[in-house]
Amino acid sequence: MSAAPGTMRSALRHGSFRRLLVGLAVSQAGDWLYNVALLAFVYERTHSAGWLAVTTAARIAPIVVFGPLGGVLADRFDRRLVMIVSDVLRAGCMLALAVVALTGLPVVLAPVLAGLATAAAAPYPSCTAATTPRLVPDADLPGANAARSAIGMGAVAAGPVVGAALLFLGSPATAFLVNAGTFGFSALVVLSIPAGPAFRPGQRGAERQSVLADVALGARALRSHPVAVRVLGADVVCSVVYGMQTVLLLLLSRAFGFGAAGYGYVLAGLGVGGILGTFAAGRAAASERPRAVLAGALLLVAGPSALMAFTSWLPGLLGWAVVSGAGAVLVEVLCETALQRDLDEDVFARAYGVALPVSLGGIVAGSLVAAPLVMLVGLTGAVVVTGALAAGYAGIVVLPRRAVGRHRAPRRMAEVVPA
């Protein structure tokens, strides 16, 4: 029986997209695989929590700082080549980390190399997001984005587990060397995808101007499209909620007597919900009532997030986490699909390079405001606020808006990828 359009199964029928997905899976798993080994190595050398904080910041900050530059590169150069170079550079960083771990080189090189690896990864999300609409027909775009989200959630869940196993069986250097191999394999997979128009930037993407001007152009492209602004706002709200939850759920688990183990289970519940949500995301994004579906997804985040404050039974708390995680992934896929369909493909990668750091910045902002909010309104009140944020934005989503036309017509896959 043939797969229904818009589902992940339907999107996976397209060979070039399958290869892109395999490369993305291996590359993203590599991004997370070495994190455990990296922190273990730094702590083993320094016995300092401060060094751990510096290393974590070095791993994350370049995503926000260099994300817009990654979008510019994706709109200036062949995206297949950019992804291959990204993988090769990260493989080089992992090999260098292995050398640091095996020798007496200064430990400060570890966070430096980790930051360089993250910076090298900056163009990858923009490249894959901009290329996906050219590898699948418009009807299968929601399913393709759901598949990419599933890969991301799986990498976050499986990468650290594999990294911990490698650390247990060998040493940090072993994990770094294996990780270098994953990036090399990813580069080979992307190299196996036939070169062609699917990876070339748009006609105006090759225009040369300053990097700042290109970033500003991407930001203007977002601001000039009400649909893009509205759906990106939903994604940012979910990011803020998640950032708050990383702090509040720890406090809540302790208050309910679940301890650190309970906190880990609840966070895992958010991840499991995210993976489950990808199976419904394709059909949700294909709905003819996108605003209602987006508002519904936000309410799936809102209700469970608020009810967590009053659920002192661990299985119940875990259940709310699963539902909330599923809603957040639905919002993510709806946002990505709307951006791909609404924005001009000539500037899409630059706009995406701005949108992604904004969304990730929401996680940082949420984690920073959580503790002050607890002092202001108490733990129960702070947890309820997370739900209120998502519910409030759901109300904004369904408000009437001016009619706006799609900025570009859907690009037919046959125009860029041979049948």
Angstrom distances, CA of residue 144 to CA of 52, 109, 136, 147: 36, 38, 8, 5
Cβ-Cβ contacts under 8 Å for 47 (sequence gap 6 or more): none
* pLDDT at residue 208 in the model: 63
Q: CATH assignment of 219-397, given 1.20.140.10, 1.20.1250.20, 1.10.3720.10, 3.40.50.620?
A: 1.20.1250.20
* pLDDT at residue 203 in the model: 58
CATH topology of domain 8-201: Growth Hormone; Chain: A; (1.20.1250)
* pLDDT at residue 207 in the model: 58
Full DSSP string of 74-127: HHHS-HHHHHHHHHHHHHHHHHHHHHHHHS---TTHHHHHHHHHHHHTTHHHHH
User: CA angle, 391 as apex, 227 and 243 as ends, to 5°?
Assistant: 90
Report CA Rg, the chain.
Answer: 21
Tokens coding 310: 């009053």
Give the three-class secondary structure for 311.
coil
* pLDDT at residue 403 in the model: 45
Give the Cα separation of 317 and 309 in Å (integer): 9
| 5: amino acid identity, one letter | P
Tell me the per-residue pLDDT of 215-268, one tens digit each, with 9 for 90 and over. Answer: 888 888 888 888 888 889 999 999 999 888 888 888 888 899 887 678 878 877
CA torsion sign for 154, 295, 267, 229 is positive
Indicate the pTM of the whole model: 0.80
Q: Domain-by-domain residue ranges, the chain?
A: 8-201, 219-397
| Exposed / middle / buried, residue 402 (Cβ in 10 Å: 0-12, 13-18, 19+) | exposed
Q: Are 8-201 and 219-397 in the same CATH fold?
A: yes
Cβ-Cβ contacts under 8 Å for 298 (sequence gap 6 or more): 234, 237, 238, 327, 331, 390, 391, 393, 394, 397
* pLDDT at residue 229 in the model: 87
Check: CB of residue 390 under 8 Å from CB of residue 325. no
Q: Tens-of-pLDDT digits for all 419 residues of the chain?
A: 466 666 777 888 888 888 888 888 887 887 777 777 888 888 888 887 678 778 877 887 888 888 888 888 888 888 899 999 999 999 999 999 999 999 989 999 999 999 999 899 889 888 888 888 888 888 888 888 888 888 887 777 777 677 777 777 778 888 899 889 989 999 999 898 888 787 887 655 545 677 788 888 888 888 888 888 888 999 999 999 988 888 888 888 889 988 767 887 887 788 888 888 888 887 787 777 888 899 999 999 999 999 999 999 999 999 999 999 999 989 988 888 888 888 887 788 888 888 888 888 888 888 888 888 999 999 999 999 999 999 999 999 887 765 444 445 444 444 444 43
User: Pick from 222, 250, 163, 264: which is nearest to 359 by CA?
Assistant: 222
* pLDDT at residue 202 in the model: 66
Give the Cα separation of 300 and 304 in Å (integer): 7
Question: How many beta carbons lie within 10 A of that of residue 403, not counting itself?
Answer: 6
